[in-house]
Amino acid sequence: MRYAKTVAVIAGFGFITLALFVQGLLPALLPESRSETVSRAVRTRLTELKWIEYPAENYTELEQLGRQVYIREGCWYCHSQYVRPVTGEDKRWGPVSQAGEYAFDVPHLFSTRRIGPDLTRVGLKYSDHWHLAHHWNPRLVVPDSNMPSFPWLYDQVMAGLEEKDGKLAFKADPALRKIFTFKEGKEILILPNTDGLAFARERDGVPVLNFDPLPDPPKTKTITIVLPTREAEGLVAYIQKLGTNRGQWRDLFEPQRVFVSQFSVPESEDWIAEGKEVYLRRCVGCHGPKGDGNGPAATFMNPRPRDFRDAVFKFRVTPSGALPTEGDLYRTITRGIRGTAMPPWHEIPEKERLAVILFVKTFSPAWKDKNLKAAPISLPDPPPPSEELIAQGEKVYINEGRCWNCHGGPGMKDDKPFNYPWGLGPSAPTLKDDWGFPLLATDFTTGIFKSGPDVTDIFRTMSTGLNGAAMPSFAENLTAEQRWAISYYILSLSAYIDPLHRKKLQIPEQVKAALDDPNLKTPTWRVAFDPSKVETAVAGEKPKNYLRIAE
């Protein structure tokens, strides 16, 4: 024990030195630590999803502002940003993190604690509107959340109401004019929740109160309107950026790639009771305690949450106007609805997903009506993609389908070709759902499809239509061949596009040609295509010569 203190000091110094070397110096010496490339999932012109080595992209000015807000508000205390190659994390969050994803993170925000979920792959999992509701008050969308609210990231104005022409409207108030521009000809629809809270994202226009489509209008004499500041928008932009350097990886993520269409769940009081518990913990914030789609967070959402009382569901394998199968509901719950506030729920146990289906059905007597039930339509195996089939699909899109009328893009009128902005066809501004809420026509170039990313998903939508929306069934107007052709064409519109920033990826034409080859296979991100070996790939040599094995 004579030299114990000396030994302890030397050992302590040694371990500190070892830690600095292993965690500081050694990683800096590894070439991988200076990498700026990642394995990215892209859609080819023949609509296949493949992995490619591609440079990570730096943050935009708005995303960088959001990152500063994220650091300032201490979000990194509770949320990690690293998917580790252990304990099946890649089955929960997504692909294991790569060094290139952190090329522009100074300082890095790996964090160590996970009081909240890991955010490495959160980008585009939720809509912007979900995040804006979450930051205003997390318990609006996650009732049992312990995350604090961030009201200082929003502007607020309290507006009084008065009756005009038999309807309630805003009083003339200078406070409103400090927030909104009152630009003529542009209305900003205000749809408050039952507590009198309303969300508005735009400011350039006239705020217009509309209680007509609301199932349960507020009884208050004033409405509190909240609007995100630039810092709030930046925070959302930063969060949406996380994980998107890996491209369209979510479309290949096996835990949520569910194609089930038909099965039955035995009804029992115990299962319904369990489903109610799940609903109150996961769903009530948006869909409301009455299942009317008017939960406290609904005012933030666009599109609005589904009203379960009418049993009208968009995504089905049953004919237009019919009830969905329980398999349809299970698929939607597991996958989520991309581009909306409805996230994928593959993380919660399967039994909970089945139980909540039974509870959701209790909101509507329509489930007991045998006249609304129908057998699923036939969904044959898709034909192989080809340039000819996609070209045929474009013609059907323009002529027989006239899809440009809502979704924009190329069209033809009086034998004259024209182009509308994608997602903004001539009818798009007038679209409303069966409840009177505005509808957004899908911009096909983003690669974000509500019904699913597979060609069979698009074909199913073309065949059944979307109940409650403006999208009809084309089962009687177009042949199966035409529906497959148009489905492939729609998918091809998002080829080599960044779904976050909606811009073309900078991939050389020769590399695209190699990726378009159906014989080139990249089954996982670990065997992504290496563009530097494009000549080898075009020559048709063995895969190991042009696929980079990621460790």
Residue 121 and residue 138: Cα distance in Å, rounded? 19
Confidence grade of residue 32 (pLDDT, cut at 50, 70, 90): low
Query: Of 473, 498, 523, which marks where a domain is finished?
Result: 498
User: For residue 378, is it within any domain?
Assistant: no
Position 351 scores a pLDDT of 94
Q: What's the pLDDT tens digit per position in 119-154?
A: 999 999 999 999 999 999 999 999 999 999 999 999
Query: Is the per-residue pLDDT at 226 higher than 80?
Result: yes
Confidence grade of residue 540 (pLDDT, cut at 50, 70, 90): very low
- Percent of the chain past pLDDT 90, that is, above it, reads 79
Residue of higher predicted confidence among 31 and 299: 299
Query: Of 316, 348, 372, which marks where a domain is finished?
Result: 372
Residues 6+ apart with CB under 8 A from 272: 355, 358, 359, 362
User: For residue 314, is it within any domain?
Assistant: yes
Give the CATH number, domain containing residue 445: 1.10.760
pTM, two decimal places: 0.92
Q: What's the pLDDT tens digit per position in 358-405?
A: 999 999 999 999 999 999 999 999 999 999 999 999 999 999 999 999
User: For residue 114, is it within any domain?
Assistant: no
Q: Are 169 and 161 in contact (CB under 8 A)?
A: yes
Query: Which helix (H) or strand (E) element contains residue 130?
Result: helix 128-136
Position 3 scores a pLDDT of 72
Whether residues 458 and 396 share a domain: the answer is: yes
Position 19 scores a pLDDT of 76
Confidence grade of residue 312 (pLDDT, cut at 50, 70, 90): very high
Position 539 scores a pLDDT of 45
DSSP secondary structure of 142-208: -TT--PPP-GGGEEEEEEEEEEETTEEEE---HHHHHH----TT-EEEE---TTSEEE----SSEEE
Position 17 scores a pLDDT of 82
User: For residue 86, is it within any domain?
Assistant: no
Whether residues 260 and 337 share a domain: the answer is: yes
Query: Is the per-residue pLDDT at 542 higher than 70?
Result: no
Whether residues 366 and 405 share a domain: the answer is: no
User: For residue 366, is it within any domain?
Assistant: yes
Nearest to 138 by CA among 151, 125, 128, 127: 151
Cis peptide before 303 (omega within 30 of 0): yes
Residue 438 and residue 434: Cα distance in Å, rounded? 10
User: For residue 448, is it within any domain?
Assistant: yes
Query: Is the per-residue pLDDT at 193 higher than 80?
Result: yes
How many domains does one find in the chain? 3
Whether residues 286 and 341 share a domain: the answer is: yes
Whether residues 404 and 312 share a domain: the answer is: no
Q: What's the pLDDT tens digit per position in 228-256?
A: 999 999 999 999 999 999 999 999 998 87
Whether residues 399 and 357 share a domain: the answer is: no
Whether residues 334 and 423 share a domain: the answer is: no
Whether residues 467 and 411 share a domain: the answer is: yes
Q: What's the pLDDT tens digit per position in 57-66?
A: 999 999 999 9
Give the phi and the psi of residue 132 in degrees, each rounded to 5. -65, -35
Mean pLDDT, rounded, of the chain: 92
Segment 272-298 mean pLDDT: 97
Residues 6+ apart with CB under 8 A from 498: 57, 244, 247, 504, 505
User: For residue 227, is it within any domain?
Assistant: no
DSSP secondary structure of 290-327: TSSS--TTGGG-SSPPP-GGGT--SS-SSPTTSPPPHH
Whether residues 429 and 494 share a domain: the answer is: yes
On the CB side of 369, how many CA atoms lie within 13 Å of its CA? Answer: 11
Query: Is the per-residue pLDDT at 73 higher than 60?
Result: yes
Cis peptide before 453 (omega within 30 of 0): no
User: For residue 125, is it within any domain?
Assistant: no
Sign of CA dihedral 477, 481, 487, 493: negative
Confidence grade of residue 536 (pLDDT, cut at 50, 70, 90): low
Confidence grade of residue 545 (pLDDT, cut at 50, 70, 90): very low
Query: Is the per-residue pLDDT at 535 higher than 80?
Result: no
Over its C-alpha atoms, the chain yields an Rg (Å, rounded) of: 26
Q: What's the pLDDT tens digit per position in 398-446?
A: 999 999 999 999 887 778 888 999 999 999 999 999 999 999 999 999 9
Whether residues 331 and 442 share a domain: the answer is: no
Host domain of residue 491: 387-498
Confidence grade of residue 1 (pLDDT, cut at 50, 70, 90): low
Whether residues 336 and 393 share a domain: the answer is: no
How many CB atoms are closer than 10 A to CB 404?
21
Q: Are 183 and 205 in contact (CB under 8 A)?
A: yes
Give the phi and the psi of residue 357 in degrees, each rounded to 5. -60, -45
**Six-digit token pair at 534?**
């494009």
